Each structure stands twice: as structure tokens, then as C-alpha cells.
Amino acid sequence: MPGDASALQLVLSADPALMGIVWLSLGVSLAAVGLATIVGLPIGALLALTRFPGRNACIVVLNALMGLPPVVVGLAVYLLLSRSGPLGSWGLLFTPKAMVIAQAILVTPIIAALARQTLEDLWVEYRDELAAMNVGPVGRISTLIWDARFSLVTALLAGFGRAAAEVGAVIIVGGNIDGFTRTMTTAIALETSKGDLPLAIGLGIVLIAIVVAVNALAWGVRRTGERFAG
Amino acid sequence: MAVRAPSSDLPIALENASVSVGALTILDRISLAFSPGTPTVLIGPNGSGKTTLIRLAMGLIEPTSGRITFGGRERVPPLRRAIVFQRPAMLRRSAAANIAYAMAAAGIDRARRPGRIEELLALVGLTGFGERPARRLSGGEQQRLALARALARDPEVLFLDEPTASLDPAATKAVEDVVQAVVARGIKVVMSTHDLGEARRLAGDIVLMHRGRVIESTTAAEFFSTPKTQEARRFVAGELLV
Ligand SMILES: Nc1ncnc2c1ncn2[C@@H]1O[C@H](COP(=O)(O)OP(=O)(O)OP(=O)(O)O)[C@@H](O)[C@H]1O
Ligand SMILES: [Mg+2]
């Protein structure tokens, strides 16, 4: 492969163009996970701790939404934010904010569904004890979230992995504008089609390294949790 | 000290209380009172309704029909009652943190907690186990930690659902000693057991249950010397009641 040496050089020399792309990708994905956590965690907790008609249907839908096709989400957000769309006046289309919104929509069901499962499993164990200790609703939820924190962090990291590796949604709503909305995945797609393999491969290496690091982190968090909390 | 409600939860009185799930009647028109004093011991074969009766008296479930009152009041939250479940669940924290959690939930002064935790761990024979993850303790150790955790709430009534079922003889002795100490402090104990010897050792009153009904409810002395019903006679004689 002709590009190998120069790809590695790009990575090792922390080429500014490449680093700009990497930082934007990380920033967008982190912001999306943050937003998705704020929305998804309460949804997961609510579904875990309450019983209401249609709850099972909600859970099924939520689980199905984990597999949302990114391009469809991208299209929906595009239609929403495009100049003639309902939120067109916000002027967000082809900005990093639009990418954050699209990724947050993709990641929220993942975080909500995983949090729901984790919290519900713990709730089944804790319910009687907490009731016997007269712990109120706020205390219950905070106890469950605190005691499940290691598993919940794993859910957030899963969401981050999904966001960072995703290309379909960000390319539609971000537009892949050089130096502004170009992320690792969209750059890889573009550079490959242009034939600039060194940059594509260099970004590929960084992306894989990030995904591996995130998974290692998830594993470490889980291990630590088991050691300290049993 | 914990802030205490001015009035007592005792006596806990059941009047014709039934509990059913669907068509199944688990407790059948039970009238009974748990009053201050010596321990009340519930005995009866598997599935006779001991656990359900304890959950009802603790206030975790409500009767499907009939009434239950706590010191004459209905629906009193379990501020002054504590329970050790038949299979206690440990929080994902250290042994000491499990006790601390119960104290916090009961509104016990933060300053009082550390010393009291050590006392309670010592009381149940778990000195030195404080920093261990509670879920890593053995079944018997968890059972004793659950007892310490229940006592941490400074209850007026303590429910124990087969507290010694999974314990070896030494640990059983330790738990029975704790129960005696708790009783000496004026706490009302309501416990279930399958162990006739334990019932003899601890009971002030005996409630014999069979198929969701109370068959005999009397003092321990009377129950063991002159059991009135056929079932009670067979139970005291050590026959299998099914
Ligand atoms: N939520 C429930 N739904 C259906 N049946 C129940 C429920 N709870 C208890 N039962 C049934 O009610 C009966 C009494 O149960 P309970 O746990 O009170 O018995 P127990 O006397 O404590 O038995 P053991 O000695 O085995 O602990 C059992 O037959 C049990 O299967
Ligand atoms: Mg039982």
C-alpha cells in the first residue's frame, strides 16, 4: 500500500489539519453523548421504576430505536433544520450544532435502553429493601443511579462509540465542510473517494485507536466497579 | 438520636385481614395483634403464609380485605419498623456503607454513625468486615449484616423472616443472642422460623400458620405444654405438617 508510511507520518507528526478533524469529531460526539445522557437517562429511569399502560410498547420501541439508521436520522434532522423546515430560522444546518443534534438523536435511545435495563435489574433487587427503609422516590432513583454508576458509564461509552463511528447522519446535516464540519468519518469517506489514501488511512488509524481506547476504558470501569462494589 | 414519632406503632393489629393474588388466597381472614413485650414467633410449613404475614405487618403490602392498624392508625410508613428479609438484598457498597445507608434513611445523625456502625458490626460478629463489599460476603454473613442494618434504624418493632435458616450453629447462637439483647432493650421482635428449638428458646408468643390461616395463637408456654389443635399437637411432636 503506497499510503502507509505517509499515513503514519501524518498521525505521528500530529498534522494540524488531521488534528483539527479529530478534535471536531471528539467534540461533536462528546456533546452528543452529553445531550443524550440528559435526555436518555431520565427516560430510562422512568421506564425502569414506573408501571403504566403502554410501558412494554415503549420499551420495545426504545429497543428498536437503538438500531435507527443514521442516514434516516440525518435526513429527518436535515428536513427539520433546512431553510424551509420548521426550525430553519435557527440557521443550524451545516454547522457542528446540527451534527450534535443528529448524533444525540441516534445515541439517546441507546443510553435510555441500556440505562433502563441496568436500573430495572437493580430495582428488582433493591425494591423491598428500599421500601422497608422508607426511601422516597428521589432517594430511590439517586441510589439506583449511584449504585449502577459503573454499568451506566459503560452505556455512555457505548453511545460514544456509536456516535464517533457514525458517518451517515453527520455528512447529511454537517455537509462535510473543510475545517468546519469535517469529522473523521466524513473525511475518510471523502478522501477515499478522492484517492487521498494517506489522510484517509491516518484518520482510520486514529478512529480505531479511539474506539479501542473507549472499549478498554469501558472494560476498566466495569472491573473497577466489580472490585469496589461487588 | 433519631427523631421519633410521638406515638407508637404498637400494637400492630390485624382485623380479618386477607391477602389474595388473583383467585389465590394467601392469607385468609387473619385477626391477630403484635403487642409490646416478648417475641412473637411465627411457625408453620413452607407456603403457609409466614413471609406474607410479615410483609403485611411491616406495611409493605396492604390487605386485599380487612384492616391493619399500627398503634391504632392506618397506613403508617415504616419509620419505626425494620425487617430482615428471608433473602436480604445487599446494596452494592461496603458492609459499613450498607449500615450507614440505613442510618441515613432513618434520619440518624451523621456524627453518631461511625461509632454505631462499629458497635453493630461487633454485635453481629462481623468486626473487621466493614470495608468488604457487602455482596462478596457469604450468605450467613450477609444475613447477619442485614440484621445489623435493620437494627441501625433504631426500630421499635423488628421483623425477622427466618433469620437463622442459612446459619451454622455458632452463627445461629450469635443471632439468637442478638435477638435476646434486642428484646432486653424493649424492641418488639416478630420472627418466623422452621426450628422448633429456636421457637422454644426465643418465643413469648407463638402463632402457628397453616395454608394461609392462623391455627393457633397463644403463649409459648401454653403452646408447648397444651397445644389445642390437632395440627399444633403434631407440630410440637415434631411430625411433618403438610
Ligand atoms: N406475589 C405472589 N403471587 C402469587 N403467589 C404468592 C405470592 N406471594 C406468595 N405467594 C404464595 O403464597 C403462599 C405463601 O407464601 P409465603 O412466602 O408467605 O410462605 P412462607 O410461610 O413464608 O413459606 P416459607 O416457609 O417457604 O418461607 C405460597 O404458596 C406462595 O407461593
Ligand atoms: Mg417465607
DSSP string, B191-227: EE-S-HHHHHHH-SEEEEEETTEEEEEEEHHHHHHS-
Last residue of a domain, one of B105, B127, B154: B154
pLDDT value of residue B238: 77
Contact A29, A104 (CB under 8 A): no
Q: Residue A119 to residues A140, B181, B195: CA-CA distances in angstroms? A: 11, 38, 37
Q: What is the pLDDT of residue B96?
A: 97
Torsional sign, CA B167, B171, B172, B174: negative
- What per-residue confidence (pLDDT) applies to B142? 95
Query: Which amino acid appears at position A123 of this protein?
Result: W
Q: Measured in angstroms, how far is the CA atom of residue B197 from the centroid of ligand 2?
A: 18
- pLDDT > 70 in chain A, percent: 97
What's the CA angle centered on A204, arms A202 and A206, to 5 degrees? Answer: 75
User: In chain A, what residues touch B105 (CB-CB under 8 Å)?
Assistant: 133-135, 139
Nearest to B61 by CA among B92, B83, B89: B83
Q: Check which CATH number belongs to the domain holding B57 and give it.
A: 3.40.50.300
pLDDT given for residue A226 in this prediction:
78
CATH superfamily, region A2-229:
MetI-like (1.10.3720.10)
**pLDDT band of B235, cuts 50, 70, 90:** confident
Answer yes or no: is the C-beta of B48 below 6 A from any ligand 1 atom: yes
Dihedral sign computed on CA atoms, order B179, B183, B186, B187: positive
Of the residues B154, B170, B189, the one at which a domain ends: B154
Same domain flag for B175 and B227: yes
- Banded model confidence at residue B91, pLDDT cuts 50, 70, 90: very high
Is B159 found in the same domain as B147? no
Q: Is the confidence at residue A3, as pLDDT, over 90?
A: no
Whose cell is 498534522? That residue is: A15
Is the pLDDT assigned to residue B6 strictly greater than 80?
no
> If you ran DSSP here, which 8-state letter would residue A94 be given?
T
Q: B193 CB under 6 A from ligand 1? A: no
Question: How many Å lie between the alpha carbon of A127 and the closest alpha carbon of chain B?
Answer: 9
Residue nearest to atom 26 of ligand 1 (CA): B46
Residue B52 CB–ligand 1 contact under 6 Å: yes
CB contact under 8 A, A133 and B133: no
Q: Within this chain, do residues B58 and B161 fall inside the same structural domain, yes or no?
A: yes
- Cα→Cα distances B16→A9, B13, B24, Å: 83, 10, 17
Partners of B93 on chain A (C-beta within 8 Å) are: 147, 229
A114-156: pLDDT as tens digits: 999 999 999 999 999 999 999 999 999 999 999 999 999 989 9
- Asked if residue B198 is part of any domain, the answer here is yes
Asked whether residue B128 is assigned to any structural domain, the reply reads: yes
Distance from CA of A146 to the nearest CA of B (A): 9
Global ipTM: 0.92
Considering B154, B179, B205, which residue would you say is the last residue of a domain?
Answer: B154
Q: What is the pLDDT of residue A5?
A: 58
Residues with CB under 5 A from ligand 2 (ion): B 50-51, 86
B133 lines ligand 1 (CB under 6 A): no
Task: Among B3, B91, B101, B149, pick the best mutation site for testing chain A contact (most A Cβ within 10 A).
Answer: B91
Confidence of residue B214 (pLDDT cuts 50, 70, 90): very high
Say yes or no to pLDDT of A2 above 60: no
% pLDDT > 90, chain B: 86
User: Which of A122, A132, A227 is closest, CB to CB, to B58?
Assistant: A132
B180 and B236 fall within a common domain: yes
* Structural domain boundaries, residue B104: 90-154
Instruction: Let me know if B242 is exposed, middle or buried by CB neighbors in 10 A (0-12, 13-18, 19+).
Output: exposed
C-alpha cell at A228: 469496589
Q: What is the pLDDT of residues B145-180, one digit of tens each?
A: 999 999 999 999 999 999 999 889 998 999 999 999
- Residues of B within an 8 Å Cβ radius of A: 58, 60, 77-79, 81-83, 85, 88-93, 101-102, 105-106, 133-136, 153
> Is any atom of ligand 1 closer than 6 Å to the C-beta of B23?
no
Is residue B1, in this structure, part of any structural domain at all?
Answer: no
**Contacting residues of B for A134, CB less than 8 Å apart:** 77-79, 105-106
Ligand found nearest the CA of B46: 1
Picking from A125, A133, A227, the nearest residue to B102 by CB comes out as: A133
Q: Read off the C-alpha cell for B31.
A: 385477626
Judgement on whether residues B178 and B76 belong to the same structural domain of the protein: yes
Beta strands B205-210 and B40-43 are parallel
Domain count, chain B: 2
SS3 A80: helix
